[in-house]
Amino acid sequence: DAKTTQPTSMDCAEGRAANLPCNHSTISGNEYVYWYRQIHSQGPQYIIHGLKNNETNEMASLIITEDRKSSTLILPHATLRDTAVYYCIVSRSNDYKLSFGAGTTVTVRA
Amino acid sequence: EAGVTQFPSHSVIEKGQTVTLRCDPISGHDNLYWYRRVMGKEIKFLLHFVKESKQDESGMPNNRFLAERTGGTYSTLKVQPAELEDSGVYFCASSQDRGRQEQFFGPGTRLTVL
């Protein structure tokens, strides 16, 4: 699976959009971009995934660049409960192993 | 709908003892996964079941770890004998299908080996 690079940490103001970048320059054509997060003392939680088109669900939006070498997870209106470690994972469609890296520790501040 | 449940939530044992962790997946989910995070490290895949069959146990660290899923419902992960380096958080996840499906994680079992 392609390797991903994420910033170690970032802060966000409550109520503002949080934009989380992820680089995956070696991504293959059949690899998807997944985002999970882990809130303290809980198990990881699926957020969203995409292949090449931008995706949106009730939690977030995923913007993938045209060359697919990077993506951005957008939390439109961050709340204190969004404080968590966010993981960007690249995986083939028929793969089941999730390779969690170090992720980005996002702290939402009031 | 109930989520993935894990028991116990915490376990403290002495080195050399045996511990069995249990995972109940979401009803109807054929795929069950075990992951763990040992202290200071990243979350790592351990193994994958499809129903009662082990599909991939490449992440199991050594033969002190034994996972079972009798009847294709709940799963157990036994560590025997436990070593200090086994301390960490063990997560179970399930999914309806493999691959391009979200995995639903349980809250984890925190294992401390003294």
Q: Give residue-wise pLDDT tens across range B83-98.
A: 999 999 999 999 987 6
Q: Residues of chain A with pLDDT > 90: what percent? A: 85
CB A12 within 8 A of CB A18: yes
Distance (Å, whole) CA B45 – CA B108: 13
pLDDT(B100) > 90: no
CA distance B98 to B5: 20
Task: Give the residue from chain B lying closest to A44, CA to CA.
Answer: B105
A52: closest CA of chain B, how far (Å) = 14
pLDDT tens for chain A, residues 1 to 110: 668 999 999 999 999 999 999 999 999 988 999 999 999 989 999 999 999 989 999 999 999 999 999 999 999 999 999 999 999 999 887 778 899 999 999 999 99
Kindly tell me if the per-residue pLDDT of B99 is higher than 90.
Answer: no
Which single residue is written with the structure tokens 């985002």? A35
| Predicted local distance difference test score (pLDDT) of residue A60 | 97
pLDDT tens per residue, range A78-90: 999 999 999 999 9
Residues of B in Cβ contact (< 8 Å) with A102: 42
For residues A21 and A77, the answer to whether their CB atoms sit within 8 Å is no
| Inter-chain residue contact B43 with A100, CB threshold 8 Å | yes
Tokens of A17: 């959009």
User: Cβ contact (<8 Å) for A98 and B103?
Assistant: yes
Indicate which of A48, A57, A96, A98 best probes the interface with B, i.e. most B CBs within 10 Å of its own CB: A96
Percentage of chain B lying above the pLDDT 90 cut: 87
Q: What are the tens digits of pLDDT across the range A7-22?
A: 999 999 999 999 999 9
Q: Establish how many alpha carbons lie within 13 A of residue A86's alpha carbon, considering only the half-sphere containing its beta carbon.
A: 32
Are B52 and B70 a contacting pair, CB within 8 Å? yes
- The answer to whether residues B62 and B47 touch, using CB atoms and an 8 Å cutoff, is no
Contacts with A45 from chain B: Cβ below 8 Å: 105
